[in-house]
Structure 1
Amino acid sequence: MTQDSNPVSPEGTAEILIAEGPVLLRMTAGIAHLTLNRPASANGMSVELLKAFHEAVMACHGRPDLRVLVLRGTGANFCGGGDIHDFASRGDGLPDYLREATAYLQIVSAALIRLEAPVIAGVQGYAAGGGGIGLVCASDFVIATRSAKFLTGATRVGMAPDGGSSVTLQRLVGFRRAMDMVLRNPVIPAQDALAMGLISSVVADDELDEAVSALAAELAAGAPKGLAAAKRLLWTGMGLGVEACLPEEARTVAELARTRDAREGLAAVIERRKPRFTGR
């Protein structure tokens, strides 16, 4: 990662902070663009990606000129959640690996919520799992394409929600709706996600870039301290208590990773078949 000695980017000049790897970061005129960059795996989250994600978010926290953070995913999908192929390859080491992955994802989600600048997520394709849904729930604005879909997905593979979504999701869409989403795993179309309050707006598939850019420019022109204070008050007013719940969320995910059902769930997704859960 390289940083300019002058923290302010000239108008219209892109400052490249992270140029390659699983996460990219550039900044233009006070707007940071953080992009998940593993399109071949639907931007599936591995420990490597999450470490890079954490580094990128912390770089944003260290920028006094930051006005807006735009969060995107390359390729056909915003984020498909955890990288199931990576998880399945860990064998008996899966619980320890997921404990590390969950810790980084939780830190990233909390850091997005605590970031003074507004966070805009632009969603195409799937936002799924603790990664995709967790990031959606931790963003201040979510613009999705009409063809975008949302899926919690964790219990489908014998796991539990993470990324803080065990708390944030129900506060956004309500307890009953969240329970249905988490236990039954329906695929939620963008218009339904809008109606339930999970996202902010829906645009045509070919208008996502324009809509995200327009909102980012509008927010970047606002009063930074006023927006930061308002954001903090609104998150606090929701009474989320996210950080107090994170240890239990992480413990639960690591514990479930030791079960046969979790291994079977991952195998079933990879093999494109229905899982055969035994309760063990």
Structure 2
Amino acid sequence: MPSTEADQSDAASDPVLLEIRADGIAVVALNRPEAANSMDLPLLTALHRALLACHRSDAVRVVVLRGEGRNFCAGGDVHDFLANIDRLPEHVKEVSSWLQMVTTAIIALEVPVIAAVNGYATGGGGLGLVGSCDFVIAGETARFRSAAVGVGMAPDGGLTVTLTQLVGFRKAVELVLANGTLDADEALRIGLITRVVPDDLLMEETYALAQVLSAASPQALAECKRLLWDGIGSSVAQGLRNEGVAEVRLAGSSECRARLAAVVARRPSAGSE
């Protein structure tokens, strides 16, 4: 947590920001707003470090995960994938491995994790984080999409397991294979998220829930969280392994390369939004 103006200036460029507040609420912010908080290796490794810092701190009672700027997380960084196109399977394997560690760390934390979703939550990065958090509060203009099929890849971040648990098998198949976009109200209706609030009240409502949780028995919360996740824990672990194999295999295909390039070609730059 920054303590001086110089520290704050340096921290402003970090891909992930961590603040542990006096009330026991740790705020973890994805900090690549110019790239819609899409995930590259620096962001993923920084996110993993922030989660481990929360795990080590006895002061943390609740974790709030949010995105800086207009979007929560746009999934994997397509530009980063194209920059490594000549070794894409190896690069995707490394990225997916770090995302798996992030997902595992969120689920393994003994404190509740609340995702505050603004804008888009897409791909194994955005939607995968939604699936691995304990609570998801979304602004009314939030949007949710699997997105993987659109670039010739498979979901990751444990999404192939958590999504079926959250919304049921039939809806999960539709969301992944048909690759549609859900608005916040529909995401709430099918059980993907916990609550929808006005955009301008997103963080206020998120912190209100965090304060309720921080006042509860930490031992009871930890046990309840563990028991609930253990009900599907072995499936999530196996799902993460299966996803990693599929991602690497698909990343080696010419179709995946072509679809990644097509996405970049038709997407406006973040600075022009």
TM-score (norm 2): 0.92
- Are 2:82 and 1:54 aligned? no
Return the alpha-carbon distance in structure 2 between the equivalents of residues 125 and 240 of structure 1: 32
C-alpha distance after superposition, 1:88-145 (max 9, x if no partner): 1112111111100000001111110110000000001000000001000000000001
Which amino acid counterpart does residue 89 of structure 2 have in structure 1? P
Return the alpha-carbon distance in structure 1 between the equivalents of residues 232 and 247 of structure 2: 25
- Are 2:111 and 1:120 aligned? no
Higher relative contact order (CA 8 A, sep 6+): 2
Partner of residue 252 from structure 1, selected from 232, 235, 246: 246
Give 1:230-241 correspondences, 5 Å limit: 230-238=224-232, 241=235
Cα distance, 1:63 vs. partner? 1.0
Return the alpha-carbon distance in structure 1 between the equivalents of residues 163 and 183 of structure 2: 16
Give 1:1-280 correspondences, 5 Å limit: 19-20=11-12, 21-28=14-21, 29-238=23-232, 241-272=235-266
Asked if 2 retains the 8 angstrom alpha-carbon contact of 1:145 and 1:208, the reply is: yes
Return the alpha-carbon distance in structure 1 between the equivalents of residues 237 and 134 of structure 2: 17
Q: Which runs of 4+ in 1 moved over 4 A?
A: none
Asked if 2 retains the 8 angstrom alpha-carbon contact of 1:46 and 1:83, the reply is: yes
Cα distance, 1:238 vs. partner? 4.1
- Give unpaired runs (5+ residues) of structure 1: 4-15, 274-280
Which amino acid counterpart does residue 25 of structure 1 have in structure 2? L
SS in 1 for 2:138: strand
Asked if 2 retains the 8 angstrom alpha-carbon contact of 1:76 and 1:124, the reply is: yes
Match of 2:270 in 1: none
SS in 2 for 1:150: strand
Cα distance, 1:72 vs. partner? 0.2
Which structure shows the higher helix fraction? 2
Cα distance, 1:268 vs. partner? 1.2
Which amino acid counterpart does residue 205 of structure 2 have in structure 1? A
Return the alpha-carbon distance in structure 1 between the equivalents of residues 204 and 2 of structure 2: 28
SS in 2 for 1:222: coil
TM-score (norm 1): 0.90
Asked if 2 retains the 8 angstrom alpha-carbon contact of 1:171 and 1:240, the reply is: no
Asked if 2 retains the 8 angstrom alpha-carbon contact of 1:22 and 1:52, the reply is: yes
Cα distance, 1:166 vs. partner? 1.1
Return the alpha-carbon distance in structure 1 between the equivalents of residues 216 and 38 of structure 2: 34
Equivalenced residue count is 260
Return the alpha-carbon distance in structure 1 between the equivalents of residues 231 and 261 of structure 2: 41
Return the alpha-carbon distance in structure 2 between the equivalents of residues 187 and 204 of structure 1: 19
- Give unpaired runs (5+ residues) of structure 2: 268-273
SS in 2 for 1:64: coil
Return the alpha-carbon distance in structure 2 between the equivalents of residues 266 and 240 of structure 1: 32
Percent of aligned pairs with the same residue? 51
Which amino acid counterpart does residue 223 of structure 2 have in structure 1? A
